[in-house]
Chains A and B, each alone.
Chain A
Amino acid sequence: MNRLNALLAGASALALLAGPASAGEYVEWQDDGSVLLKLSPEYDSAVIEVPAGELGSLFGPDEQPFAGDEITVLTLDSGPKGGISGPIYAFRPVFEELTGAKVNIALVPISELYTKIFLDLRNGTGEYDGMIVGAFMYGDLIDGNYILPVDDWQQSGDFPAWSYDVMPDALRTIYTWDGVGYGVLSDADGQVLYYRRDLLNDPEHQAAFKAEHGYDMPVPPATLQQLRDIAAYFDGKNFDANDPEPDSGVVLHLKVREQGLYHFMTLATSFAVTPGELSETQGVYWFNPTDMTPLINSPGHVKALEYLKDLAQFGPDAQVSWSLGEAWDYFLRGKAVFNFSYGDVAPLAQDESRSNIRGKIGSTILPASDTYWDMNKQEFVTTDTPRKVGNVTGGSWHGVVSSLSDSPETTYAFWSLMATKPISKWLATYGWDGVDPGYSYQFLEPVGEAKLEDYLAAGWDATDVQEYLQAYYDNFNAEVMLPYLRITGTQEYYDILDSNLSAAMSGAKTPQQALDDTAAGWEQVTDRLGREKQLEAYQAAIGWQG
């Protein structure tokens, strides 16, 4: 990270030679048409250079376009230097100096974010001008007319510039609704497989694995079945030299009412989705698109849960009660070979104060199952060419503007400042901020615009970052994607699935029983919310033409 600071300091020194037209504590307007945005020492005094034109026509050295405005934004609480909330803290003073507005930050734990947001919106309190939301909340947000479209502001040229065009289709879809933009570019969530590159490539382990399983250990594994074999092989061995304890084949974050269900959602796609053009039996995952009958207890889903349970035995028992942080920490300490999770893991692995695996972490799009449930044939089919399935699993946490806000333009300006290319790119290179890469300028050339040097300067290991960005590029641009559920009541559908998955993973229910109970619970929710209305929303969400 120090190298980047030196680089940025050098860049800013060069810019300063040109002479500042106007210099403030956090914002410095240069004569050459650039603006230096300077973060506080807590954020390594990083300096980000933004072309003045990208800040929008409202902004200028003698302008404070929102002077006197005061806005409150709500975000999940990871602290001033934690994921998602960190950037808001980092750029608040910059924005305040730039605009003259005052920004208040309201924090809640991630588990309470949904409740806090919707209590405010449903009761019409309007305490928050903007909120960080997960894309799965859109069904409820749009249904209640709770958030404002941002397209007009975005295209006006008045505000900091960013674009949906840099997003892969899968991400663009979840930031918008029916073609209208509501979310301001920020995080890009999806789950990929992280593995210990050093261990899988070790000749001794290679030979031992072959002797045990009868085939060469593939690096990375191409199928979920291979992944299971490799996890089984490594589980119980002490490959972490830092302690005498045996280590694990895999580590998962399975805590109920956190983000435990996402493992299953991601993994089940290649088991449960029948390939082909979208129809009643093909390309569908959540519900039957003609009558909203849940598909979640299909044989493919059940097999996926059986697989996940089988895989979990090669991880620590405690993972059933672990949220993201605990599972990541276990993996970063070098105590597991595999973890499939969000884009935060590889950046965090570069921080050697908490990671033992810098330079050893491989990344790849999640392997697929070689067996899937064919809904047309009503039987399992085994294939030699498993489909790699991409996902945008997670929240892709980003800012929206409340329709109750008295200062929507100011709120939008705040979110859009952090969405500008220089800042968004800067955020993606760092591990602490929770803003994961997914946009064209964050991927390496030739598929993207970023240069390897950008990441090396931020302290990345070259191979780690190349594999990491390629994995995410492959994931977001996969031919087949896990359909993203975001109809009204998604939070409740998710919660029922989540508690039943947790019951299955902790041994309280069988996979079949857990998913049958989920389906029954979903039917009740659908009936309560109105089957016709839900069906219409679901059909729209998956692009069903009838």
Chain B
Amino acid sequence: MRWTSSVRNFFLMPAVIWVLVFTIFPLGYSLYAAFHNVTNETIVNRMEVPRLDKAGEPVLRPDGTPRMKTEVVRETVTKWEFVGLDNFKRLFTDTVLHEAIKVTAIFVGVGLAIQMTLGLALAMLFNRDMPGRSLLRTIMILPIFTTPVAAGYLFFTIFYEEGGPLGWTGIPWLSNPSWALFSVIVVDVWQWTPFCFLVFLAALQGIPDELLEAVKLDTNSNWTTFREVLLPLLMPTIVIVLLLRFAEAMKVFDIVASLTVGGPGNATQSLSYLAFRTGLRFFDVGYASAIAYTLLALVMVVVTILFKRIRTIYA
């Protein structure tokens, strides 16, 4: 049976509506906001009306006059003042934003490097017969299922410097700017290394045994095998994992909000957290949108490069 175009459109409709409502509209709205100074004004009209009892009769005061109550009629007006590129110009002079970009870059760079390396190493380790492998693998991936906010609060107690489980180290986990950023990275590594591990392990298990046995005829060196055979075979998977993790890590918010609230100072304030605070704490919606677009632009540039890399690898 051949489907008519209207049937095909019907089945495509939910996806189209989803993309329009949850992707295209917010994108367009925030782009529009980025060129405006957005303010809300609520106009409230209040009317005094008699208070009625259950029988619908006016409730009277002792002096016989009716008791009144207030009825409110409200209208909220959103004002859009066009400011051209002002919000984007601010991006170049805002030192707090520059600090947030630096923090996000360090978080993503260091965090991803550790997660990818550790995930790959663990995958190599688990890609062989060993007692209790299934159980260990299950335990390994548990952090993925933790809500990031909960992970943040959990590590807040672990990093607690006065009597916490790691207090004996004497490390200022949360009170020193550099250590605090490292602590945020540690939580992210704890949560997402298992994801890298899981995907790498699946990729490793997809490599035919015959191929590895053939390699053994040429070399006994594990390093050579890894570098010359496994790594090239794993490269598409590595790039995909890197891409997914990069896009996710650039948006880091929950761990920062629950573990450090961006501090000390702004030492752990990520771009997402700054955008959130600018828009929803100070209600500077236009500038928050400009920050969000900066984040989007940064992600797009790197993702485009990674996609090109994927195409090259597959080619």
Binding site for B on A (CB under 8 A): 57, 65, 67-68, 111, 114-115, 118-119, 121-124, 126, 144-146, 255-258, 316-321, 326, 330, 403-409, 489, 491-492, 495, 499-500, 502-509, 517, 520-521, 528
In the assembled complex, the CB of B101 is this many whole angstroms from the nearest CB of chain A, namely 16
B160 partner residues in chain A, CB cutoff 8 A: 318
Identify 17 residue pairs between A and B in the complex whose beta-carbon atoms are under 8 Å apart, listed by A's number: A119-B280, A121-B42, A122-B42, A124-B40, A257-B261, A318-B160, A319-B175, A403-B72, A404-B72, A407-B70, A495-B277, A499-B96, A500-B265, A503-B266, A506-B177, A506-B264, A520-B95
- Contact call A317/B74, Cβ cutoff below 8 A: no
Contact flag A317-B265 (CB < 8 Å), given A57-B62, A124-B76, A126-B74: no
- Contact call B69/A409, Cβ cutoff below 8 A: yes
Contact flag A318-B261 (CB < 8 Å), given A114-B281, A495-B282: no
- Contact call B264/A505, Cβ cutoff below 8 A: yes
Known: A255-B261, A491-B282. 20 other contacts (CB 8 A): A57-B62, A115-B281, A118-B283, A121-B42, A144-B42, A145-B42, A145-B44, A318-B172, A320-B174, A321-B161, A321-B260, A403-B44, A404-B74, A407-B70, A408-B70, A492-B281, A492-B282, A499-B96, A499-B269, A507-B176
Interface of chain B residues 156 through 202 with chain A (CB within 8 A):
160-162, 172, 174-177, 180
Cβ-neighbour of A506 out of B95, B175, B277 (below 8 A): B175
Residue among B67, B71, B281 having the largest count of chain A Cβ atoms under 10 Å:
B281
In the assembled complex, the CB of B252 is this many whole angstroms from the nearest CB of chain A, namely 17
- Contact call A499/B175, Cβ cutoff below 8 A: no
Question: CB-nearest residue of chain B relative to A330?
Answer: B162
B260 partner residues in chain A, CB cutoff 8 A: 321
State A517–B42 Cα separation when bound (angstroms): 34
- Contact call A256/B265, Cβ cutoff below 8 A: yes
Cβ-neighbour of A321 out of B71, B72, B263, B283 (below 8 A): B263
A115 partner residues in chain B, CB cutoff 8 A: 280-281
B119 partner residues in chain A, CB cutoff 8 A: none
B265 partner residues in chain A, CB cutoff 8 A: 256, 499-500, 502-504, 506, 508-509
Question: CB-nearest residue of chain A relative to B278?
Answer: A492
- Contact call B283/A122, Cβ cutoff below 8 A: yes
> What 3 pairs between A and B have smallest CB-CB spacing?
A503-B265, A124-B76, A256-B263
A502 partner residues in chain B, CB cutoff 8 A: 263-265
Contact flag A491-B281 (CB < 8 Å), given A318-B161, A404-B72, A406-B72: yes
State A318–B169 Cα separation when bound (angstroms): 13
A67 partner residues in chain B, CB cutoff 8 A: 54
Q: Is B292 an interface residue (CB 8 A)?
A: no
B267 partner residues in chain A, CB cutoff 8 A: 503, 506, 508
- Contact call A255/B280, Cβ cutoff below 8 A: no
State A403–B41 Cα separation when bound (angstroms): 13
- Contact call A499/B44, Cβ cutoff below 8 A: no
Interface of chain B residues 84 through 133 with chain A (CB within 8 A):
95-96
A507 partner residues in chain B, CB cutoff 8 A: 176-177
A504 partner residues in chain B, CB cutoff 8 A: 265
In the assembled complex, the CB of A518 is this many whole angstroms from the nearest CB of chain B, namely 11
A405 partner residues in chain B, CB cutoff 8 A: 70, 72
Bitwise interface map of B from 251 to 271 toward A, beta carbon under 8 Å scored 1, else 0: 000000000111111110100
- Contact call B261/A111, Cβ cutoff below 8 A: yes
State A121–B262 Cα separation when bound (angstroms): 26
Report how many residues on chain B are interfacial, defined by Cβ distance under 8 Å.
41
In the assembled complex, the CB of A454 is this many whole angstroms from the nearest CB of chain B, namely 35
Contact flag A256-B282 (CB < 8 Å), given A326-B162, A403-B44: no
State A489–B282 Cα separation when bound (angstroms): 8
Question: CB-nearest residue of chain B relative to A145?
Answer: B44
Interface of chain B residues 48 through 100 with chain A (CB within 8 A):
54, 62, 67, 69-72, 74-76, 95-96
B74 partner residues in chain A, CB cutoff 8 A: 124, 126, 404
- Contact call B174/A318, Cβ cutoff below 8 A: yes
Interface of chain B residues 4 through 51 with chain A (CB within 8 A):
40-42, 44, 46
Contact flag A318-B72 (CB < 8 Å), given A115-B280, A257-B261, A508-B265: no
Question: CB-nearest residue of chain B relative to A125?
Answer: B76
State A319–B174 Cα separation when bound (angstroms): 10
In the assembled complex, the CB of B240 is this many whole angstroms from the nearest CB of chain A, namely 37
State A256–B266 Cα separation when bound (angstroms): 9
B162 partner residues in chain A, CB cutoff 8 A: 316, 318, 326, 330
Question: CB-nearest residue of chain A relative to B280?
Answer: A115
State A121–B44 Cα separation when bound (angstroms): 11
State A403–B95 Cα separation when bound (angstroms): 38
Residue among B41, B161, B262, B277 having the largest count of chain A Cβ atoms under 10 Å:
B161
State A123–B74 Cα separation when bound (angstroms): 11
In the assembled complex, the CB of B42 is this many whole angstroms from the nearest CB of chain A, namely 4
B95 partner residues in chain A, CB cutoff 8 A: 517, 520
- Contact call A255/B263, Cβ cutoff below 8 A: yes
In the assembled complex, the CB of A81 is this many whole angstroms from the nearest CB of chain B, namely 21
In the assembled complex, the CB of A123 is this many whole angstroms from the nearest CB of chain B, namely 6
- Contact call A508/B72, Cβ cutoff below 8 A: no
State A489–B160 Cα separation when bound (angstroms): 33
State A146–B42 Cα separation when bound (angstroms): 8
B262 partner residues in chain A, CB cutoff 8 A: 256-257, 499
B67 partner residues in chain A, CB cutoff 8 A: 65
In the assembled complex, the CB of B153 is this many whole angstroms from the nearest CB of chain A, namely 11
State A520–B96 Cα separation when bound (angstroms): 11
In the assembled complex, the CB of B61 is this many whole angstroms from the nearest CB of chain A, namely 8
In the assembled complex, the CB of A118 is this many whole angstroms from the nearest CB of chain B, namely 7
Question: CB-nearest residue of chain A relative to B265?
Answer: A503
A517 partner residues in chain B, CB cutoff 8 A: 95
In the assembled complex, the CB of B299 is this many whole angstroms from the nearest CB of chain A, namely 25
State A521–B96 Cα separation when bound (angstroms): 9
B70 partner residues in chain A, CB cutoff 8 A: 405-409
State A65–B280 Cα separation when bound (angstroms): 38
A321 partner residues in chain B, CB cutoff 8 A: 161, 174-175, 180, 260, 263-264
In the assembled complex, the CB of A144 is this many whole angstroms from the nearest CB of chain B, namely 7
- Contact call B264/A124, Cβ cutoff below 8 A: no
State A386–B284 Cα separation when bound (angstroms): 42
Residue among A111, A146, A495, A506 having the largest count of chain B Cβ atoms under 10 Å:
A506
A320 partner residues in chain B, CB cutoff 8 A: 172, 174-176, 264
In the assembled complex, the CB of B82 is this many whole angstroms from the nearest CB of chain A, namely 16
Contact flag A407-B172 (CB < 8 Å), given A144-B42, A495-B282, A500-B265: no
State A118–B42 Cα separation when bound (angstroms): 12
Question: CB-nearest residue of chain B relative to A509?
Answer: B265
- Contact call B42/A256, Cβ cutoff below 8 A: no
In the assembled complex, the CB of A250 is this many whole angstroms from the nearest CB of chain B, namely 14
- Contact call A499/B263, Cβ cutoff below 8 A: yes
State A320–B180 Cα separation when bound (angstroms): 11
B282 partner residues in chain A, CB cutoff 8 A: 489, 491-492, 495
